């Protein structure tokens, strides 16, 4: 083996520079995104589903061996006869959900985002989306929400799913929004892919009097200098970053975009067109093919020429490790967001 080959091979195993201070341990996969000292709500998806199901016989739940890790176990316990444990078999779970929808039911099918987007894609697009069936695919571990490495990190799920016609894509921010969005997608007549935060989920939007509306982006705070355009839990990060930046005299607005597709072009164009602001997209996803590029394309098509930056994960296979470490390393922690914005002003 040549030196070059050896070095290429071993480069992957070069230890990363240890973060300042204490080294953190990779938490178990079931860990919630709750280490922020916030008010949290338990299993908002599962409880919303149970609440709706008491008035709607058409709601059924399916999982591919991940009910406990997608909060669907709450529904399974409340309605055991309406719960289908499909085993470790995503293709038949998705296809059977399509069949149940054909017979008039509203199936909620859960797994991890990597397995739905990568493994089950052909079944979702042909058995469900092509026929516009009302199947709701709800997936835990979106983006970088586990330290288990690329097998579990769905850093490109939005890029994959955005290409699918008929599909509505939701990337909710917190427990409040997951509760509201779960109810909204149940009423939506077509297929939906929703990213899920599970377990103890932070309650952030409660204090903003927020109400989820499918297909609508909403301003959570206004600001003169920077306009964050964000989705998912990155909206909580940019809200915190906006407070940090405020202390430094940087006035930041936050436009929360929970519906990735169809995108609220009107609101995004209107807010980005307000002069003098740096537009910064922020997403828990690769910079390739997600919210950032969708917003960039939207602005280009509309002829809106503004300073534009993207906060997101690199187009790479990410490291394993503890989430706080990884979020710092890949630039999506609050401190990293604040530092990036300052460097751009």
Partner 1 sequence: MNTATPKGGSNVSLARRAWAIRRNALRMGEVQGQGYIGQALGVADVLAVSYFHALNYRAAEPEWEGRDRFLLSIGHYAIALYAAMIEAGILPEDEIGTYGMDDSRMPMSGMAAYTPGMEITGGSLGHGLGIAVGMALGLKRKKNPAFVYNMLSDGELGEGSTWEAVMSAVQWKLDNLIAIVDFNDQQADGKTTAALANVPEAGRWSAFGWFAQEVDGNDMDAVVAAFDAARAHKGDQPRVIICNTKMCKGIPFLEDREITHFVRVEPEEWARALNILDEGKPQ
Residues of this chain that interact with partner 1 (CB under 8 A) are 60, 84, 86-87, 89, 91-92, 94-105, 107, 122-123, 126-127, 130-131
- Min separation Cβ 61 and partner 1, Å: 12
Angle CA(340)–CA(151)–CA(318) in degrees, nearest 5?
Answer: 25
Q: Residue 120 CB, nearest distance to partner 1 (Å)?
A: 9
DSSP for 41-67, please give it. Answer: EE-HHHHHHHHHHTT-TTEEEEESS-S
Nearer to partner 1, 57 or 248 (CB): 57
Q: Please report how close the Cβ of residue 22 comes to partner 1 at its closest, in angstroms.
A: 45
Token pair, residue 209, equals 């009097």
SS3 305: coil
Considering beta carbons, is residue 123 or 228 the nearer one to partner 1? 123
Q: Which of 216, 195, 342, 200 is nearest to 283 (CA)?
A: 195
Interatomic CA distance for residues 262 and 307, integer angstroms: 24
Taking the complex as a whole, how short is the minimal distance between the CB of residue 127 and partner 1, in angstroms?
Answer: 5
CA distance 277 to 273: 9
CB of 74 to partner 1, least distance (A): 21
Nearer to partner 1, 55 or 81 (CB): 81
- Kindly tell me which of 124 and 178 has the beta carbon lying closer to partner 1: 124
Q: Which is nearer to partner 1, 105 or 193 (CB)?
A: 105
Which residue, 92 or 269, is less far from partner 1 as judged by CB? 92
Residue 167 or residue 332: which is nearer to partner 1 going by CB? 167
Structure tokens at 177: 């929004």
CB of 126 to partner 1, least distance (A): 5
Angle at 235 between CA 231 and CA 237, to 5 degrees: 135
Shortest separation between residue 23's beta carbon and partner 1, angstroms: 41
Task: Quote the CA–CA distance of 250 and 247 in Å, as a whole number.
Answer: 7
Please, what sign has the CA dihedral across residues 133, 101, 197, 120? Answer: negative
Name the residue nearer to partner 1 (CB basis): 165 or 249.
165
The least CB distance from residue 181 to partner 1, in Å, is: 24
Q: Which long-range contacts (CB under 8 A, 24 or more apart) does 266-269 make?
A: 267/216, 267/217, 267/218, 268/217, 268/229, 268/295, 268/298, 268/299, 269/298, 269/299, 269/302, 269/304
Nearer to partner 1, 114 or 184 (CB): 114
CB of 96 to partner 1, least distance (A): 3
* Tokens 């230890």, residue located: 15
DSSP secondary structure of 179-203: HHHHHHHHH-SS-EEEEE--SEEE-
**157: phi then psi, degrees, rounded to nearest 5:** -65, -35
């Amino acid at each position: 083996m040549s030196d070059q080959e050896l070095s290429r091979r071993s480069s992957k195993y070069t230890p990363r520079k240890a973060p300042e201070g204490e080294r953190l341990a990779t938490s178990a996969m079931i860990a919630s995104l709750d280490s922020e000292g916030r008010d949290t709500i338990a299993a908002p998806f599962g409880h919303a589903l149970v609440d709706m199901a008491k008035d709607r016989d058409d709601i059924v739940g399916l999982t591919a061996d991940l009910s406990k890790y997608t909060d669907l176990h709450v529904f399974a316990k409340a309605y055991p006869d309406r719960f289908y444990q499909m085993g470790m078999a995503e293709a038949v779970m998705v296809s059977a959900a399509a069949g149940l929808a054909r017979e008039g039911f509203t199936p909620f099918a859960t797994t991890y985002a990597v397995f739905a987007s990568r493994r089950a894609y052909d079944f979702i697009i042909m058995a469900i989306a092509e026929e516009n069936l009302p199947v709701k695919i709800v997936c835990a571990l979106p983006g970088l929400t586990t330290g288990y490495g690329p097998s579990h990190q769905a850093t490109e799920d939005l890029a994959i799913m955005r290409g699918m016609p008929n599909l509505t894509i939701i990337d909710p921010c917190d427990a409040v929004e997951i509760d509201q969005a779960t109810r909204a997608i149940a009423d939506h007549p077509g297929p939906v892919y929703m990213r899920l935060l599970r377990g103890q989920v932070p309650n952030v939007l409660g204090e903003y009097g927020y109400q989820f509306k499918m297909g609508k982006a909403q301003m959570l705070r206004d600001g003169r200098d920077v306009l964050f355009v964000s989705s998912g839990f990155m909206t909580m990060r940019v809200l915190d970053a906006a407070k940090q930046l405020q202390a430094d005299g940087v006035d930041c607005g936050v436009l929360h975009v929970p519906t990735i597709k169809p995108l609220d072009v009107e609101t995004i164009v209107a807010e980005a067109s307000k002069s003098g602001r740096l537009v910064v997209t922020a997403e828990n996803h690769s910079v390739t093919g997600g919210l950032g590029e969708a917003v960039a394309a939207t602005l280009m098509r509309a002829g809106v020429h503004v300073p534009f930056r993207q906060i997101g994960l690199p187009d790479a296979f990410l490291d394993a490790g503890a989430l706080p470490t990884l979020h710092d390393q890949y630039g999506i922690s609050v401190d990293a967001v604040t530092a990036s914005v300052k460097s751009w002003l």
